[in-house]
Amino acid sequence: MWRGIIHAYRPFLQVASVEPITLYEGHTPLIPAPRLAQAIGLAAALYLKYEGLNPTGSFKDRGMTAALTQAVAEGARAVLCASTGNTAASAAAYAARAGLRAFVLVPAGKVALGKLAGAMAYGATVLAVEGNFDVALELVRRAVTEYPVTLVNSLNPYRLEGQQTAAFEVCDQLGRTPDWLAIPVGNAGNITAYWKGFRAYYQAGRVNGLPKLLGVQAEGAAPLVYGRPFEKPETIATAIRIGRPARGAEARQAVQESGGMFLAVSDEEILHAWRLLATLEGIFVEPASAASIAGLRRAVAERRIKVSADQTVVAVLTGHGLKDPDIALRTLPAPTRVKPDWDAFRAVLERAMET
Ligand code: AN7
């Protein structure tokens, strides 16, 4: 029986040897996506690591099981984070599981509905700052120097310990390392964690090589692509609306070591990729997750990555589509209203079948 990432990968993880605080996260599917690969002109085999299927709907749960396990082992009473939403929901759930209080600080008006609802439902104290994520992170970093609360942003090293297990799973599922890994980048904790994981597996002799990393940012929030902070980050992908990534330096080093690259995609490209994922493969993700596909599509179109049919590309789908239902409602045609009788319904149905 699967009992979460700490049970599964304990020898690889620097985390307190106590009973884990877990929701049995991880073990997410690696799904082949041949129709999507064809649509974006990718010759290689494409697989999607569907992290939206974690207990709170994002990859953050891998990091949070480790962070909360360690926090409890160290006698913590409360946790605190800044968040664009997913970290907040995950921290709230794992704190509930551990019997700790959670305080989360999110950018007011810029958090997707499902994330806010989650954080509230799990019983966190949700605070909304009149500013962006970068301001929120600055505030919580100061708060943990003055109050007895544990920071559970990815600055917390146990977050990366846990999140590297996604790289282990990708290798275990493929039976080898992928040639490329495409991943959305916001605060840059996850790409840093994947690289740590791939290197650890390589050093342990579990795989024979390392992937190249394709780190994808939104055009309006692309500090790692352009090499400068974004003071006013903007993108429809609110999860990665981050202008000063806390793990930026490590992410840059990881991408460089891997021989990969960062690139930026527009909101339009993100939405296009988001629709392709859902309509060609039946996989509904939040916009930030679609950035990895948008980035791949652009990299292929611009011939910046060269892959052949015998190679393997993995794209990380970081969060579930139900996190951000607004996007579908705002960008797609509303359902046609139907009067409650047969003739009315038949007329509408026939018209629909003709289009
Ligand atoms: C769906 O929740 O930063 O580069 O506060 O929710 O490790 O930050 C979320 C980030 C990608 C980027 N996809 O990962 C937060 C937060 C989704 C995300 C990212 C996030 P990092």
DSSP codes of every residue in 201-228: HHHTTS-S--PEEEEEEETTB-HHHHTS
Residue nearest to atom 13 of ligand 1 (CA): 318
Ligand 1 binding pocket includes 26 (Cβ within 6 Å) = no
Tell me which residues of the chain have a pLDDT lower than 70. none
CA distance 301 to 282: 24
Ligand 1 binding pocket includes 189 (Cβ within 6 Å) = yes
Which of 299, 290, 314 lies closest to 239 in space, CA to CA? 290
The CA distances from residue 172 to 12, 154, 177, 335, in Å, are: 14, 24, 8, 42
Which of 192, 188, 213, 229 lies closest to 299 in space, CA to CA? 213
Ligand 1 binding pocket includes 22 (Cβ within 6 Å) = no
Query: Alpha-carbon Rg of the chain, whole angstroms?
Result: 20
Residue nearest to atom 8 of ligand 1 (CA): 187
Residue from 240, 250, 292, 293 whose mutation best tests the ligand 1 pocket (most atoms within 8 A of CB): 240
Backbone torsions φ then ψ of 205, nearest 5 degrees: 80, 15
Whether residue 20 contacts residue 2, with contact meaning beta carbons closer than 8 Å, is answered with no
Extract the tokens encoding 121. 């439902």
Residue nearest to atom 1 of ligand 1 (CA): 319
Atom of ligand 1 nearest to the CA of 285: 1
Res 251: pLDDT: 98
d(CA 210, ligand 1 centre) in Å: 23
Query: Tokens 């596909």 sit at which residue?
Result: 293
d(CA 343, ligand 1 centre) in Å: 49
Res 167: pLDDT: 99
Q: Using one digit for the tens of pLDDT, what is the confidence trace for 62-88? A: 999 999 999 999 999 999 999 999 999
Length of the chain: 355
pTM as predicted: 0.98
Strand partners, 221: 218
d(CA 304, ligand 1 centre) in Å: 25
Res 201: pLDDT: 98
d(CA 355, ligand 1 centre) in Å: 38
Ligand 1 binding pocket includes 91 (Cβ within 6 Å) = no
Q: Running DSSP on this structure, what letter comes out for residue 10?
A: G
In the chain the first and final C-alpha atoms are separated, in Å, by 48
Res 246: pLDDT: 98
Other beta carbons within 10 Å of 271: 18
Q: Using one digit for the tens of pLDDT, what is the confidence trace for 135-170? A: 999 999 999 999 999 999 999 999 999 999 999 999
Res 166: pLDDT: 99
Burial of 335 (0-12, 13-18, 19+ CB in 10 A): exposed
Burial of 110 (0-12, 13-18, 19+ CB in 10 A): middle
Residue nearest to atom 12 of ligand 1 (CA): 186
